Amino acid sequence: MFRDSRIITNFLACKPDKLMKHALWEHNRRRSKLALGNVRTKNWYMWRAAFMMELKENCLLTKRLRAQKKTCRFDDFDRSIFGMRNARMVNASSKLDALERAISKWWNEVKKYPRPESLQIENYLKKHKHFLPMALSYQEYLSCSVDLCDDLKKERKKRRYFVQCFYSEMPERNHSLYEKGPKCSKHCFGNKDECVGGLCRVPYYQYHSNFVY
């Protein structure tokens, strides 16, 4: 089972702020459920995953993302900054509320999938394009930002926020979303103890050797 005391984020490279901690938590708890076979589609359950990475923050990317000019436009971002982006305009009461609503909307695309007879990425490219980077087994880094897009009157309970999450890996055609099998059956770099709640934690030395500077 996914436990917040053990799987939230990896603090070795940086200390995420409140928003990023929440973004990592919301993503990783869903990835854990997927790895354990507890994610339901339209009328079935997704296969269990033999290997699923725990997402971590790329701190430098988060700083770059938040330093960009805020225009709340879907087409206004540097496409070379990261592998893949999810973006959504959300009516919410706060930044955290907006983040939760966006992540939930993206992930729930899986409910459109009738039955996962195949995990080939091509099957998810159209109706599940937001779910795809969130569920990719070898996805490793995440950076998110939430920006207020209007300053409505105080008596209004909800405001419009622009939520963006960038993912390090771009899904490739002719590849699988993940490999089905018992949880953690593909050991984390040969160390089964690094697999918690169905998610693989990258060891300290490998995490730093792969970190994007």
CATH number (domain holding residue 139): 3.40.33.10
Whole-structure pTM over 0.85, yes or no? Answer: no
The answer to the question of residue 8 being in a domain is: no
Number of structural domains (the chain) is 1
Q: Which of 12-26, 165-179, 180-194, 197-211 has the lowest mean pLDDT?
A: 197-211
**Residue 9 located in a structural domain:** no
d(CA 100, CA 90): 10
| Residue 11 CA, distance from chain mean position | 17
Q: Point out which residues pair with 159 in neighbouring strands.
A: 92
- 12, part of any domain: no
Q: The tokens of 143 are what?
A: 């950076």
The whole domain housing 68 covers 18-210
Closest CA to 94 of 150, 160, 29: 160
**How far is CA 134 from each of CA 43, 112, 166, 176, rounded to the nearest angstrom?**
21, 16, 10, 14
pLDDT-derived band of residue 191, with 50, 70 and 90 as boundaries?
low
User: Does some domain include residue 11?
Assistant: no
For residue 115, tell me if it sits in a domain.
Answer: yes
Asked whether residue 61 is domain-assigned, the answer is yes
